């Protein structure tokens, strides 16, 4: 019996007895649980009945609570209306105190009066705008003239500087010329510093002297170079002699090493021949046996018939592949149609959205567009509106021009400098007093922030005041309810008598404190309102201050200017000013339209573009029809894919069987050839044994002779090296001396050339400066400056007159601000009176609604319903307790039955019975299976290793061009298995074979042989184990290989590609830097080269042969 199974059977017998006991306990507990569930059902029915009785009571109580909430809301609104009405009356009293003259007419008449006042104010402001426009124009002209004068002054200074530079340049050139004459030893008696002509005359002499200096330096350089060449030639001759002698020594060393290698190799061959003489007889028997096995294997399989079947399968596979490609192309076509249709739908939606947006903008400004364009417009909205705007601006400018002309004609001088000074003093006084008034209330804070803060505080105080007024009545009502019914009036919780008394006393204390709090809140509210009214009264002052801050600086700048003022305003001027209202209104509308018109133009352009794109997209839709739908084509593609997969698998199976047959035939043929070759090699080795021994003796004599010749060569080399070092030192000293002499001469010559270049540059600059005639240009600039200063004086005089007129108009506008405040206060008073009437009506209506609710009767009914509800709740709680106890017992039983020992006790019992029976049958089956599996694994491993070694041998013979190794193989050594661990493990090693003798490759092969062996082993493993995913990647496979092996590797890879070209899953990837190896490969059209471009890697495809 298998170890461990006896113990399992014994253990299962014990488990069976325990599970039988658990099964009996589980059946008893299930009976008890059924009894408890029946009792639970009866209690649930009783609870359901009580729940039905409770529902109508809860519905009625909910209605009563809703009525209570409604009552509370109405009462709160009533209190709020009282508070608001009181605030309105207080505000009315405050306004009556501030208004000096109450307006007796209606609100409509008051609005008309305010509108007339605004119209007069606009007329004044329009007049002010015209004057300010003239001032701006004159200021622009003044700034232009000042800028022109400044530019003239700048240009004058620049011309003066250029004249000075011209004089300095002439002096510098003279100094440089004098220096050159001294350096070149040229005799001259002329005054170069004060005469430009003298400098011009001396320059040709300087040029000739420089040429002579250059010639002398060149002659010196040539003489030094000839001396150095003579020394260098002697050194080169000596170095060539040394190199030749060293080459002879190196060649003899190489010959001696080759002869030693040949001697060791021949000695190994002699040893091999002596050992292999005993194996010749056994080889004859093995050759006969291999020949017989080969003949039997060829007769077992008809290779031609099998190849024909494989060709038929390939042809069928091509037909199915073409059909698969057609269906795939149809799917791609259908998908493109779906994509184009989706794009058209999207563009149509975008077009509709843009059209809606254009319609919305047109409808928004339809009235204005009809007014501006009675004939209608469909495009270029922004350009058209700008054109209308420009026409309106021209019309307004024409009217303003007529007004200004008549004002100048009717105006006379009325103001003097004294009036201007007095006006400026008055404005400063107004500014100081106004700022002091605002500071007293705002304390350096912004006026608008203080007003907004007070408005929020007043609103908050009003709400607090109203809540205090209403809280007293609520508290009293709560006390009355608690005295009638001892429960909380909000949450309806039952209270003890002591709790009722404590709560009532707390509410009474609150009621006593309410009047004091209300009085305090009322006082705060009045103070806030008083301060708020004071701030509102200062609003015209703040506006006046802002105007003064803008006007005072301008008046200070224009204090020395005179101004014109108006003597009278005629009826004609008033008509002109009224005629400006209509074009200004239209101009304002046109300015507001420009933004939306730009958007509308963009939308219309987008609509046109979308329409064009839609036309193109519809034209690009294919016109041909399809015999498939997308779903049918995808189903057909899936079907063809399965058929293609099956056909490929069948083809690969047939090819694999044929290849395995061929491999067996080749293996036997190779085995026979190998045995015959070994037999021939052994016979040749025995015959050549005497010759090999003679050759060894010859090689030893040659090695001794080479040793003597190498020693003589080394003795001759020592004196030649010492002579070479001495000549090199002499040459270095000569070169250093020549360089020192030439450096000094070059330095002097460079200085002369530099000064000559400076003189040429200075002469060119002097000629250019003299051609510009700088003195005449300076005079023209001075005359232009005088003319500009006269024009500037005239412009400043006209500007002073206009500034005085602007100040007079602003003074008249400022005096009307207080009048406008009186009118606006009257309007607010009228609105307050109308609001009070509305509040009185709403207060009467709410008072009636509150009285209509019979709140006392509802409270008595509520108490009775709550008593019934409490009784039902007590009975329900009693039944719930009983039900909870039963549920606990049931839950306990369920937990026990859900325990592992009870949950599936019957199933576990039966399972254990079955397991005992099966275990006894399993023991025999496992013993038989283990034996069969071990045999199959050993056979599989042996077959794969035979095939791998056969492939390795074939590839080695095809690729390797050396003769020192016949082939290589992988050998496996099985490690011994212990009794407790029957798993087998293998140790693998690579061996090299020569004349049937095997030795390990590790440590005995060269780097190139090791690289080639690893590549061949990888290819063989890929051929054997990667049939379904046959991808082979080789990175730098020619490393350490010589030219012959590189060529043979390329040919072998090409044959491998030809053999596998019909397999769809075969792929060979080669990464290499070896151009020779690349061109030795075949069966490819393109390759990819990686190169650097601006610090980045770029992959470029090349055609083979480029």
Architecture of the domain made up of 445-577:
Orthogonal Bundle (1.10)
Token digits of residue 1087? 């390759």
Give residue for tokens 């519905």: 59
Return d(Cα 399, Cα 386) in angstroms, integer. 20
Query: What is the average pLDDT score of the chain?
Result: 74
Residue partners of 27: CB distance under 8 A and separation at least 6: none
Query: Crossing angle of helices 571-579/381-410, nearest 10°?
Result: 170
Predicted pLDDT at 816: 62
Of 1007, 993, 998, 1004, give the one whose Cα is nearest residue 965.
993
Cβ–Cβ < 8 Å for 500, 482: yes
Question: Which of 597, 593, 591, 587 lies closest to 378, judged by CA?
Answer: 597
Q: For the chain, which residues score pLDDT lower than 50? A: 410-416, 562, 566, 569, 977-981
The answer to whether the beta carbons of residues 984 and 977 sit under 8 Å apart is yes
Q: Convert 250-319 into a string of H (helix), E (strand) and C (coil).
A: HHHHHHHHHHHHHHHHHHHHHHHHHHHHHHHHHHHHHHHHHHHHHHHHHHHCCHHHHHHHHHHHHHHHHH
- The single residue listed with the structure tokens 């042969």 is 1105
Rounded CA separation 525/519 (Å): 10
C-alpha closest to that of 10 among 920, 926, 902, 910: 920
> Between the CA of residue 341 and those of 246, 337, 405, what are the distances in Å?
85, 6, 70
Compute how many other C-beta atoms are within 10 angstroms of the C-beta atom of residue 902: 20
Dihedral sign, CA of 659, 661, 664, 668?
negative
Using one digit for the tens of pLDDT, what is the confidence trace for 957-1003?
888 877 788 889 998 876 554 434 455 667 888 999 888 888 888 87
Reference 225, options 844, 605, 735, 822; nearest CA is: 735
Angle (nearest 5°) at CA 476 between 471 and 480:
145
What is the pLDDT, as a whole number, of residue 969? Answer: 92
Q: What's the pLDDT at 413?
A: 40
Residue 462 DSSP SS3: helix
Terminal C-alpha separation, the chain = 75
For 804, other C-beta atoms within 10 Å of its C-beta total: 24
Q: Are strands 1031-1035 and 986-994 parallel, antiparallel or unpaired?
A: unpaired
Task: Note whether 64 and 869 are within 8 A (CB).
Answer: no
917-976+985-1026 and 1027-1105 have identical folds: yes
CATH code for the domain defined by 1027-1105: 3.40.50.300
Nearest 5°: CA angle at 707, between 703 and 710?
A: 135
pTM listed for this prediction? 0.27
Residue 672 contacts residue 287 (beta carbons within 8 Å): yes
Burial class (CB in 10 A: 0-12, 13-18, 19+), 167: exposed
Query: What tokens were used for 394?
Result: 């021209």
Residues in Cβ contact with 765 at an 8 Å cutoff, skipping those fewer than 6 apart: 169
Residue 157: other Cβ atoms inside 10 A: 11
Instruction: Indicate the length of the chain as a whole number.
Output: 1106
| Segments making up each domain of the chain, as ranges | 3-98+854-898, 107-194+773-850, 445-577, 917-976+985-1026, 1027-1105
CATH superfamily label, 917-976+985-1026: P-loop containing nucleotide triphosphate hydrolases (3.40.50.300)
């Amino acid at each position: 019996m298998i170890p461990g199974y006896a113990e399992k059977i014994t253990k299962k017998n014990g488990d069976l007895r325990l599970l039988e006991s658990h099964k009996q306990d589980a059946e008893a507990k299930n009976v008890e649980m059924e009894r408890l569930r029946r009792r639970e059902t009866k209690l649930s029915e009783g609870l359901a009945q009580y729940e039905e009785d409770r529902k109508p009571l809860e519905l009625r109580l909910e209605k009563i609570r809703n009525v209570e909430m409604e009552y509370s809301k109405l009462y709160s609104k009533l209190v709020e209306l009282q508070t608001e009405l009181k605030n309105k009356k207080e505000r009315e009293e405050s306004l009556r105190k501030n208004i000096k003259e109450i307006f007796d007419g209606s609100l409509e008449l008051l609005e008309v009066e305010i509108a007339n006042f605004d119209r007069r104010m606009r007329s004044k402001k329009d007049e002010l705008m015209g004057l300010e426009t003239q001032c701006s124009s004159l200021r622009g002209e003044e700034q232009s003239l000042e800028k022109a004068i400044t530019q003239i002054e700048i240009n004058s200074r620049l011309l003066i500087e250029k004249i000075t530079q011209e004089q300095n340049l002439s002096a510098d050139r003279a100094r440089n010329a004098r220096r050159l004459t001294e350096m070149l030893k040229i005799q001259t008696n002329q005054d170069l510093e004060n005469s430009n002509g003298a400098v011009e005359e001396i320059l040709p002499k300087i040029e000739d002297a420089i040429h002579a200096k250059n010639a002398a330096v060149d002659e010196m350089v040539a003489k030094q170079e000839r001396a150095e060449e003579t020394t260098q030639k002697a050194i080169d001759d000596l170095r060539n002699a040394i190199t030749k002698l060293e080459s002879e020594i190196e060649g003899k060393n190489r010959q001696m090493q080759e002869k030693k290698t040949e001697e060791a190799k021949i000695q190994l061959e002699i040893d091999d021949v002596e050992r292999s003489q005993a194996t010749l007889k056994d080889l004859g028997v093995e050759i006969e046996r291999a020949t017989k096995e080969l003949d039997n294997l060829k007769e077992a399989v008809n290779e031609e018939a099998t190849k024909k079947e494989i060709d038929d399968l390939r042809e069928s596979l091509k037909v199915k592949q073409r059909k698969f490609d057609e269906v795939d192309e149809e799917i791609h076509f259908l998908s493109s149609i779906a994509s184009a249709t989706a794009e058209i739908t999207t563009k149509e939606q975008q077009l509709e959205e843009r059209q809606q947006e254009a319609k919305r903008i047109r409808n928004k400004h339809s009235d204005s567009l009809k007014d501006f364009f009675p004939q209608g417009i469909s495009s270029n909205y922004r350009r058209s509106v700008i054109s209308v705007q420009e026409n309106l601006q021209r019309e307004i400018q024409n009217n303003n021009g007529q007004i200004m002309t008549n004002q100048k004609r009717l105006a006379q001088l009325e103001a003097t400098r004294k009036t201007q000074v007095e006006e400026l003093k008055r404005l400063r006084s107004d500014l100081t007093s106004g700022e002091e008034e605002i500071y007293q209330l705002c304390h350096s804070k912004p006026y608008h922030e203080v007003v907004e803060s007070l408005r929020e505080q007043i609103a908050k105080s009003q709400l607090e005041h109203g809540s205090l007024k209403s809280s007293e009545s609520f508290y009293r009502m709560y006390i009355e309810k608690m005295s009638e019914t001892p429960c909380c009036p909000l949450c309806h919780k039952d209270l003890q008598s002591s709790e009722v008394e404590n709560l009532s006393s707390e509410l009474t204390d609150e009621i006593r404190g309410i009047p004091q709090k209300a009085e305090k809140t009322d006082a705060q509210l009045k103070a806030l309102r008083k301060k708020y009214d004071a701030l509102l009264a200062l609003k015209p002052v703040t506006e006046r201050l802002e105007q003064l801050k803008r006007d005072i600086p301008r008046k200070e700048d224009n204090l020395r200017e005179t101004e014109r003022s108006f003597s009278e305003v005629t009826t004609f001027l008033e008509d002109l000013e009224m005629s400006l209202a209509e074009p200004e209104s239209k101009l304002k509308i046109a300015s507001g339209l420009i933004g939306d018109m730009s958007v509308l133009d963009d939308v219309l352009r987008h609509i046109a573009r979308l329409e064009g794109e839609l036309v193109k997209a519809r034209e690009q839709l294919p016109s041909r029809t399809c015999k498939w739908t997308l779903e049918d084509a995808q189903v057909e593609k899936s079907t063809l894919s399965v058929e293609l997969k099956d056909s490929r698998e069948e083809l690969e199976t047939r090819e694999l069987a044929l290849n395995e047959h061929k491999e067996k035939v080749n293996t036997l043929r190779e085995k026979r050839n190998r045995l015959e070759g070994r037999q021939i090699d052994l016979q040749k080795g025995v015959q050549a044994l005497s010759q090999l021994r003679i050759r060894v003796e010859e090689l030893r004599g040659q090695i001794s002779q080479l040793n003597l010749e190498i020693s003589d060569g080394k003795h001759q080399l020592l004196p030649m090296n010492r002579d070479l070092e001495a000549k090199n030192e002499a040459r270095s000293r000569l070169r250093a001396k020549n360089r020192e002499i030439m450096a000094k001469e070059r330095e002097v010559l460079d200085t002369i050339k530099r000064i000559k270049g400076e003189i040429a540059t200075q002469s060119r600059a002097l000629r250019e400066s003299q051609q510009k005639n700088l003195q005449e240009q300076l005079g023209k600039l001075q005359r232009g400056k005088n003319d500009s200063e006269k024009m500037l004086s005239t412009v400043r005089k006209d500007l002073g007159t206009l500034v005085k007129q602007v100040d007079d108009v602003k003074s008249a506008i400022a005096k009307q601000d207080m009048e406008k405040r009186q009118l606006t206060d009257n309007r607010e008073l009228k609105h307050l009176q109308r609001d009070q009437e509305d509040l009185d009506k709403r207060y009467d209506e709410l008072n009636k609604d509150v009285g209509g609710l019979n709140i006392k009767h509802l409270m008595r009914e509520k108490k009775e319903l709550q008593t019934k509800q409490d009784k039902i709740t007590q009975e329900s709680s009693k039944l719930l307790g009983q039900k909870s106890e039963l549920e606990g017992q049931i839950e306990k039983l369920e937990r026990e039955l859900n325990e592992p020992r009870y949950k599936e006790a019957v199933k576990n019992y039966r399972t254990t019975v079955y397991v005992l029976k099966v275990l006894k049958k399993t023991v025999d089956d496992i013993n038989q299976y283990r034996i069969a599996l071990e045999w199959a694994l050993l056979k599989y491993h042996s077959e794969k290793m035979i095939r791998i070694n056969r492939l390795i041998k074939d590839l080695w013979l095809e690729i390797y061009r050396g003769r020192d190794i016949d082939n290589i193989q992988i050998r496996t050594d099985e490690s011994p298995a212990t009794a407790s661990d029957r798993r087998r493990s293998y140790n693998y090693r690579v061996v090299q074979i020569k004349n049937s003798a095997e030795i390990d490759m590790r440590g005995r092969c060269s780097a190139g042989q090791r690289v080639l062996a690893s590549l061949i082993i990888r290819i063989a493993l890929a051929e054997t184990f990667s049939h379904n995913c046959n991808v082979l990647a080789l990175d730098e496979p020619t490393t350490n290989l010589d030219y012959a092996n590189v060529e043979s590797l390329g040919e072998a890879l090409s044959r491998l590609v030809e053999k596998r070209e019909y397999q769809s899953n075969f792929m060979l990837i080669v990464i290499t830097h070896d151009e020779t190896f690349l061109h030795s490969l075949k069966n490819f059209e393109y390759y990819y080269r990686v190169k650097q471009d601006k610090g980045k890697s770029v992959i470029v495809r090349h055609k083979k042969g480029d």
